[in-house]
Chain A
Amino acid sequence: MSEQLESGAPTFLDDYPKEAAVVKAALWSSFIALALGAVFGVIQALHRTNILRLIDSTDYYTVLTAHGVLMVVSFTIFFLVGLFTWATVRSFDRGVESIRYTWTWYGLMVAGTLMAVVAILGGFVPQTDISADVLFTFYAPMQAHPLFYGGLTIFVIGTWLAGADWFWSWRAWKAENPDERIPLQAFMVLTTMLMWYIATIGIAIAVVVFLLPWSLGIFDQINPLLTRTLFWFWGHPVVYFWLMPAYLLWYTVLPTISGGRLFSDPLARGVFVLFLLLSTPVGIHHQYVDPGIAEGFKVIAMTNTMFLLLPSLLTAFTVVASVEHGARQRGGTGLFGWLRALPWRDPAFTGMMLAGLMFAAGGFSGMINAGMNINYLIHNTIWVPGHFHLTVGTAVALTFMAATYWLWPQLTNRRLFSRPIALAQVVIWFVGMGLMSNAMHVMGLFGVPRRTAEPQYEGFEFVTSFGSITELRLQLAIGGTLLFISTVLFVSNIALSAGAPKLSGLGKPLSEPLSGAHDSPEILDNLKLWFGIAFVLVVLAYSLPLASIISRGGVLGPGVDPVPMIIEPLGATLEPLVASLQPLLGRLAAVVGGVGA
């Protein structure tokens, strides 16, 4: 097949071999997590639909936790750090300041992941008391082994240091280029990391101050609503942490591979600033049914959430307009005819476009989730997994895979093993997700719960307005299987590419925006200002709810027993011991007293 995008330009590997090694290592970590996560995913899909039950239902939550954590923490965030390193180095056109430092944060992230994964997989080994069946939403009263929380902490510290690495590059670059605008990709990286620093305050407090000491037995009890709220303080912005790398690719790579140029650089900057401002003060919209949070706070969270639709709609417009520009440059005409002129045979292009299409559908179910009243219709039903498999599971995951087809040759100087297989892979993902997510949404409307190993109940039948639950289960299982096949095709395609011959000139330069950075107001690059405003918004949205939760329940109460009990609270174990020792101590004291007198 002729490589139509071949440019003869030097690749990232040619220019920055040391950095390319880190990027490749991070992407490989990401793909290993994806492959493992896919195994656990297909086990679940077949188990809960009662097609094939390979595991005992008591192990279901171990599988569910492994799937969730590997996919949305390891796969996404390892890909992010790899991509952001590439984007920072590429757009500043300078290597990292210290490659040893860069490997350090990568090493921390790997160590943290391994600790957490060992804790989770320990759930399969009943002989050990190690387990972490707490799901990705690891708030109290679910309790994990301390190893899990320790691993998470180290992983997050790794991401903080990674962010510092990119800010370090920015400072060094700025010293040499004081009057230039921040390059677009670097701007996206920096704003995303500022959002991440704000967001991780919540999870850092939840884990380090409450969950870890609690699982070590230092505290008997903690305030479950407080850790839930702190979890969602981070739990919503984290979805944008997954999404922002995909947006970076849609804004800066997709226009080029569609043959055009980004429609507007200022609009792209504006969108990332809006995400920095609005991503965090919305977390309470995950807690619409939580008692203990006043309705008014929920309304504020809902309002912020609706505002958050704006940058995504701006993105839809800008990205599609940029693609249309590419199509028209390729000779496309007509109101819709231009769609035919696009490079659909390019797996990178097709994958990203299909991902964007699925994201549009996910935008709809997201609107339903975000509405305070209508949320009750689908809360805790399988509709919700249906929704986030469209967003993180397709918009993000499929974009990452498609982008890998574009980026990988530039990191390895080797062509992809097979472009036709790559194209089939992205289409299989699209079809598989179409089936699985559709079945999940429909079942959710019929009230089928999420997070359940055996959603079949004696003496109760789900009422369907059409078709049957059996059919929907089958649809879910077929979809899940297709997604698994697609993942296998992706990972093996990348692995087999290592055997392709080394070539030179595989570099693919990115096109300049139609409306460049010089058209955008200088204030957009004032990162301190945006960080400050974002911080104030978070304080406004969270200080009152948190104060009310703490004033009602106390910092550590009202407690509940942890589930499952792993280490008995120290106090409970010591009390009988102390009681039995008391007479002895009394006698000892009397003897000592007698001697003294």
Chain B
Amino acid sequence: MNRTSKAGILVGSGMLFVIVWEIRSALGLLVGIDTNPQLYMLLTLAIVGLTAFALAIGLIGVTPETPADEDTS
């Protein structure tokens, strides 16, 4: 059941990327945990990519309350 629009995936992925990446700064400053930058970046991209992929094939995702927004394009 693929109800997540491409636009939703794009916007969501952008926000998810920023949130996950900024957690690295928060961990470093607040808790003093120095995560490996390359590994963390790969992990971030993997999380965002997998989420986007799962949304695209309809594995996860929410059923929009209003179908009105979902046009056919």
**Contact (Cβ within 8 A) B18 A466:** no
Is A438's CB within 8 Å of the partner chain B?
Answer: yes
Is A427's CB within 8 Å of the partner chain B?
Answer: yes
- Given A4-B71, A340-B65, do A431 and B14 touch, yes or no (CB 8 Å)? yes
Instruction: Count residues of B near A (Cβ-Cβ below 8 Å).
Output: 31
Interface flags for B3-28 (1: CB within 8 Å of A; 0: not) read 00111101100110110011011011
- Given A4-B71, A345-B8, A435-B21, do A442 and B65 touch, yes or no (CB 8 Å)? no
Question: A386 to nearest B CB, angstroms?
Answer: 11
Question: B5 to nearest A CB, angstroms?
Answer: 6
Instruction: Count residues of A near B (Cβ-Cβ below 8 Å).
Output: 34
A91-B21 Cα distance, complex, nearest whole Å: 43
Is A25's CB within 8 Å of the partner chain B?
Answer: no
Residues of B within 8 A of A467 (CB): 24, 28, 34, 37
A343-B22 Cα distance, complex, nearest whole Å: 26
A345-B66 Cα distance, complex, nearest whole Å: 14
**Contact (Cβ within 8 A) B34 A341:** no
Residues of B within 8 A of A427 (CB): 10-11, 14
Is A445's CB within 8 Å of the partner chain B?
Answer: yes
Question: A390 to nearest B CB, angstroms?
Answer: 12
- Given A438-B21, A438-B25, A465-B28, do A333 and B65 touch, yes or no (CB 8 Å)? yes
Residues of A within 8 A of B65 (CB): 330-333, 337-338, 340-341
Closest chain A residue, CB of each to CB of B37: A471
A431-B17 Cα distance, complex, nearest whole Å: 7
Given A420-B6, A423-B10, A466-B28; 9 other pairs, CB 8 A cutoff: A2-B73, A331-B68, A341-B64, A344-B8, A427-B10, A430-B15, A430-B18, A466-B35, A467-B34
Closest chain A residue, CB of each to CB of B7: A345
**Contact (Cβ within 8 A) B64 A340:** yes
Residues of A within 8 A of B32 (CB): 465-466
**Contact (Cβ within 8 A) B62 A423:** no
Is A434's CB within 8 Å of the partner chain B?
Answer: yes
Is A1's CB within 8 Å of the partner chain B?
Answer: yes
Question: B40 to nearest A CB, angstroms?
Answer: 9
- The A-contacting residues of B in range 16-73, CB under 8 angstroms, are 17-18, 21-22, 24-25, 27-29, 32-35, 37, 62, 64-66, 68-69, 71-73
Residues of A within 8 A of B33 (CB): 466
Quick one: which of B21, B37, B68, B73 contacts A330, CB cutoff 8 A? B68
Interface flags for A405-447 (1: CB within 8 Å of B; 0: not) read 0000000000000001001100110110011001001100100
A466-B5 Cα distance, complex, nearest whole Å: 38
A333-B62 Cα distance, complex, nearest whole Å: 13
Residues of B within 8 A of A102 (CB): none
**Contact (Cβ within 8 A) B64 A465:** no
Residues of A within 8 A of B66 (CB): 330-332, 341
Would you call the interface of chain A mostly helix, strand, loop, or mixed?
A: helix
Question: A427 to nearest B CB, angstroms?
Answer: 4
Residues of B within 8 A of A279 (CB): none
Closest chain A residue, CB of each to CB of B68: A330
A1-B25 Cα distance, complex, nearest whole Å: 40
Interface flags for A556-569 (1: CB within 8 Å of B; 0: not) read 00000000000000
**Contact (Cβ within 8 A) A434 B21:** yes
Binding site for B on A (CB under 8 A): 1-2, 4, 330-333, 337-338, 340-341, 343-345, 350, 354, 420, 423-424, 427-428, 430-431, 434-435, 438, 441-442, 445, 465-468, 471
Question: B12 to nearest A CB, angstroms?
Answer: 8
Question: B47 to nearest A CB, angstroms?
Answer: 14
A333-B34 Cα distance, complex, nearest whole Å: 40
Closest chain B residue, CB of each to CB of A342: B69
Question: B45 to nearest A CB, angstroms?
Answer: 12
**Contact (Cβ within 8 A) B11 A344:** yes
Residues of A within 8 A of B35 (CB): 466
A441-B27 Cα distance, complex, nearest whole Å: 15
Residues of B within 8 A of A445 (CB): 29
A-B residue pairs, 5 tightest by C-beta:
A466-B28, A345-B7, A434-B18, A331-B66, A427-B14
Closest chain B residue, CB of each to CB of A471: B37
Residues of B within 8 A of A468 (CB): 37
Residues of B within 8 A of A344 (CB): 5, 7-8, 11
**Contact (Cβ within 8 A) B34 A466:** yes
**Contact (Cβ within 8 A) B25 A442:** yes
A344-B28 Cα distance, complex, nearest whole Å: 32
Question: A482 to nearest B CB, angstroms?
Answer: 10
5 of the cross-chain contacts (CB-CB < 8 Å) are A331-B66, A340-B65, A341-B64, A344-B11, A428-B14
Residues of B within 8 A of A431 (CB): 14, 17-18
**Contact (Cβ within 8 A) A466 B64:** no
Quick one: which of B22, B28, B64, B71 contacts A1, CB cutoff 8 A? B71
Residues of A within 8 A of B68 (CB): 330-331
Question: B29 to nearest A CB, angstroms?
Answer: 6
Question: B64 to nearest A CB, angstroms?
Answer: 6
**Contact (Cβ within 8 A) B62 A340:** yes
A429-B63 Cα distance, complex, nearest whole Å: 28
Closest chain B residue, CB of each to CB of A434: B18
Most chain A CB within 10 A, of B15, B66, B71, is at B66
Residues of B within 8 A of A420 (CB): 6-7
A254-B56 Cα distance, complex, nearest whole Å: 28
Closest chain B residue, CB of each to CB of A441: B25
Residues of B within 8 A of A338 (CB): 65
- Given A331-B65, A423-B10, A466-B28, do A434 and B71 touch, yes or no (CB 8 Å)? no
**Contact (Cβ within 8 A) B29 A330:** no
Closest chain A residue, CB of each to CB of B69: A343
